[in-house]
Structure 1
Amino acid sequence: MSRLTSFAIIGSGYIGSFIISGFLAQASPPSTLIVLSRNPESKNFPPEVKLVKVDDYDNVDAVARILSAYKIDAVVSTVGYGGISLQRQMANAAKKADVRLFVPSEFGSPTDGAPSIYPPFQERDEVAEYINSIGLPCARFYTGGFIGRALFSVTGVRVNGKINIIGKGQSPVSFTLEEDIGGFVAYVLTSLSISSLSNTIFRLEGDRASLQDIANWYGKEVAYVEAIPGAHSETLSMFSRVFESGAGSTGWSFKLGREGEGPDAAGSANRLWQGHQWKRIRDVVTKL
C-alpha cells in the first residue's frame, strides 16, 4: 500500500496551525514536514517543522524546486480567501515537482457545484476543477463551521448579545472542532493509501445544530435581521444565508439541492478515524 510521508503546508494561519499540530501528534508523524511562508522569521514552530521562505508563489519554477528538493509527496493549502485563486499556480508547481496529492483550502461548507451567489464558494470549486484538469490528484475536506469561531462570528452574539439570524434559523448546520479537523486531516493523509485519497471529498461533522438550537442551548434571545451585525458583515451575512439554505451541512449537494446519502452524507468520513471521540459544541463552548 502506497502512503504519503512528506508534506508541505502552505499557509500557517488559523486552521493551518491546527493541521500542523495534527501532523506532529500522529503516532507515525511525517518523515518531512515543511511550511512554506513569505515571512518565515515571523513563525515559531517546533524543530520537527522546517520553515522555507517563498518570495513569490506565482513563480512556479521556484516553488517547484523547493518541493522537489524536499521530495514532497503532498501539498496542503490552508490559505485564506485572498489566496484562493493563487492555488492554481501552487498546483502547477506541485504538478511540475511530481507531487502526488494536492489538498486545496476548503475546510468549511461544501463548495462543489456552488452557485455564483456564493462567490468564495464558487471560486474554491473552480480551483478544485482546475487541479483536476491538470491531472493532479486532489483531496477536499468539508468540515462545516469551526466550533471555536463560527458560533461567535456568524451569530453576531458578541456584538449585541443575541443570536442574529437571517431567515428562520431552523436548517441543520455541521460544526467541527478545529483540533479534530487538524487531527483528522493529518491522520488520513498519513494512514490512507494514495488511491483512497485521490479525488476524494471527506465530509466531517463533529456536531449538528440549527441556529435556533444554539439559541435555545445557551438561553440567548434571537434577533431576526437582514444582515449580521459587526465587522465583516457582508461575509458573515453570506454565511448566514448559506446556513439558512441548508448548504451549511457538510452533506449538502448543490447539484441535487438537498442532503446527500451514504458516502455523501454529513459526517460520513468520521468513521475513518477509528476510535476517535469527536468533540461536540457543548463539550467545548460553555457559554456564549
Structure 2
Amino acid sequence: MSEITKVIVVGAGGYLNPIVISSLQSHGFSVSVLVRNTSNVVPPAGITVYRTDYSDSSLLLAFKDQDAVVNTITMPDFAAQKKMIDIAVLARVKRFIPAEFGIDTSKEETVEIMTFLKMKPQIIQYLRSIQDKITWTGIITGPFFDWSLRQGFFSFDVPSRTAYIHQPGHHMHRFSWSNLANVAEAVAHVLLSKNFPIVDNRYVHVRSFNASQDEILQSLISATKRVDISRGRDHTEWKIIDVDLEEKVLEARNKLAQGDSGSLGYILSKAIYRTGGNYDLEGVVMNEKLGMKLEESLDATVEREVTMLSS
C-alpha cells in the first residue's frame, strides 16, 4: 500500500477528536474533519471541514481523495458505521480506523459483559471480510485515564477527595490505561508507512502505564497533599469507601436502562477484572514497535490532573 498523506477524522468536538487532529497535524498529515450539518464545532485553523447528513452523496464527497478515515465516534448501530465503510471503499480510501479506542473488545467475554459494545467486534468482522478492498486497524487503548480522573468516571472523585474501592479484592488488579494524548499518538503512528507491516488488518494495543486502584489511590493521596502544601492550605484527607462491585454493576445496569450512563465505569471495571486487561502481561503492547515516544507515568499524570482540578 502506498503512503498515507490525507486523513479525514469523523467528528471535531468532544474530548478526543481535537487531540487526534493535533497529533495528525504534528506528524505531517493533511487533515480534514467530517461533522454533522447541525454541528457548531469550530475546528482548528487550516482544517478542511466537510458537513454531512450521512447521506451517501455527502459521505462520498468528503471521502473522495482521502487516504484514511479515522472514526472516533461510536455509532449507535452496526449499519451506520458499515455504511461509512462502504462509502470509504467506493471512494478508494486505503485505511479505515473504526471506533475502538478503549477496552479490549477483541475478547468475547468483554462483550458478553458489556453487551452495548457488541457492535464493535461486528464491525471488525465486516472489515475482515473486505480487507482485500480496504485495510483497517483497531486501536485498543484501555480506559482513558486522565479523562476518567477529570470526570470522576472510574471511582475517584478528586474535588471531594473520595475513593470508591472495588471489593472483594479487585482494587489490587493492575491493568492498562491510556491518556488521551497517547491515544492520539497511536492514531498517527498506525498511519505511518513504516508501520504498515505491523498494523495492517489487525488490532493494535497501546497504553500509557499499568496501575491498580490501590496504586492510583496512593498516587492521588501523595499528589493532593503536595498541592495543598504548595498552595498553603489545609490538606483534606481522602475518604475511602469500600463498595461491592457486583452490587454497583447491577445498579449501573438499571441506570443504563433508563439512559443514565454515569455509573458505566463499574461495568467497565467488571469486564476488565474478568478478562485481564494488562497488555504488558499479555505481551501485546506495541508502543515501542510503533516508535511512539510519548510517555507519561501514573504519578506524572496524577500530578498534572490534581494540579488542574484543585485550582
Q: Which amino acid aligns with 1:248?
A: G
> Which one of 140, 150, 158 corresponds to residue 138 of structure 2?
140
Corresponding residue for residue 8 of structure 2: 8
**Residues 98, 138 of structure 2: 8 Å contact kept:** yes
In structure 2, what is the Cα distance between the partners aligned to 1:274 and 1:75? Answer: 22
**113 and 173 in structure 1: CA distance in 2 versus 1, 3 angstrom threshold:** closer
1:180 Cα deviation (Å)? 2.0
In structure 2, what is the Cα distance between the partners aligned to 1:40 and 1:19? Answer: 22
Q: Which SS does the other structure have where 2:113 is aligned?
A: coil
1:157 Cα deviation (Å)? 2.5
Q: Which SS does the other structure have where 1:126 is aligned?
A: helix
What are the superposed Cα offsets for residues 68-110 of structure 1, whole Å, 9 maximum, x if unpaired? Answer: 2xx1111000003636652111111111111111000111121
- CA-based RMSD of the aligned residues comes to 2.7
Q: Which moved more, 1:139-148 or 1:79-88?
A: 79-88
Q: Which amino acid aligns with 2:107?
A: G
**Residues 3, 193 of structure 1: 8 Å contact kept:** no
TM normalised by structure 1 equals 0.82
In structure 1, what is the Cα distance between the partners aligned to 2:66 and 2:21? Answer: 15
Corresponding residue for residue 255 of structure 1: none
Q: Which amino acid aligns with 2:143?
A: G
Q: Which amino acid aligns with 2:84?
A: M
In structure 2, what is the Cα distance between the partners aligned to 1:249 and 1:42? Answer: 39
> Which one of 31, 44, 47 corresponds to residue 46 of structure 1?
44
> Which one of 74, 88, 95 corresponds to residue 80 of structure 1?
74
> Which one of 206, 213, 216 corresponds to residue 214 of structure 1?
216
**Residues 147, 180 of structure 2: 8 Å contact kept:** no
**Residues 143, 250 of structure 1: 8 Å contact kept:** no
In structure 2, what is the Cα distance between the partners aligned to 1:196 and 1:139? Answer: 10
TM normalised by structure 2 equals 0.77
Corresponding residue for residue 22 of structure 1: 23
What are the superposed Cα offsets for residues 34-59 of structure 1, whole Å, 9 maximum, x if unpaired? Answer: 10000476222233211110112xx3
Q: Which SS does the other structure have where 1:65 is aligned?
A: helix
Q: Which amino acid aligns with 2:243?
A: Y
**Residues 8, 69 of structure 2: 8 Å contact kept:** yes
**Does 1:121 find its partner at 2:121?**
no
**118 and 250 in structure 1: CA distance in 2 versus 1, 3 angstrom threshold:** farther
| Count of aligned positions | 269
Q: Which amino acid aligns with 1:271?
A: E
Corresponding residue for residue 61 of structure 2: 65
Corresponding residue for residue 256 of structure 1: none
**Residues 22, 182 of structure 1: 8 Å contact kept:** yes
> Which one of 223, 234, 245 corresponds to residue 242 of structure 2?
223
> Which one of 282, 285, 292 corresponds to residue 260 of structure 1?
282
Corresponding residue for residue 228 of structure 2: none
Larger Rg: 2
**Does 1:192 find its partner at 2:194?**
yes
> Which one of 177, 181, 184 corresponds to residue 183 of structure 2?
181
In structure 2, what is the Cα distance between the partners aligned to 1:275 and 1:118? Answer: 30
In structure 2, what is the Cα distance between the partners aligned to 1:274 and 1:232? Answer: 36
In structure 2, what is the Cα distance between the partners aligned to 1:17 and 1:85? Answer: 26
In structure 2, what is the Cα distance between the partners aligned to 1:51 and 1:249? Answer: 38
In structure 2, what is the Cα distance between the partners aligned to 1:95 and 1:140? Answer: 17
Structure 1: where are the runs of 5+ without partners? 252-258
1:143 Cα deviation (Å)? 0.9
1:275 Cα deviation (Å)? 6.7
In structure 2, what is the Cα distance between the partners aligned to 1:46 and 1:83? Answer: 29
**Does 1:235 find its partner at 2:252?**
no
**Residues 2, 194 of structure 1: 8 Å contact kept:** no
**214 and 41 in structure 1: CA distance in 2 versus 1, 3 angstrom threshold:** closer
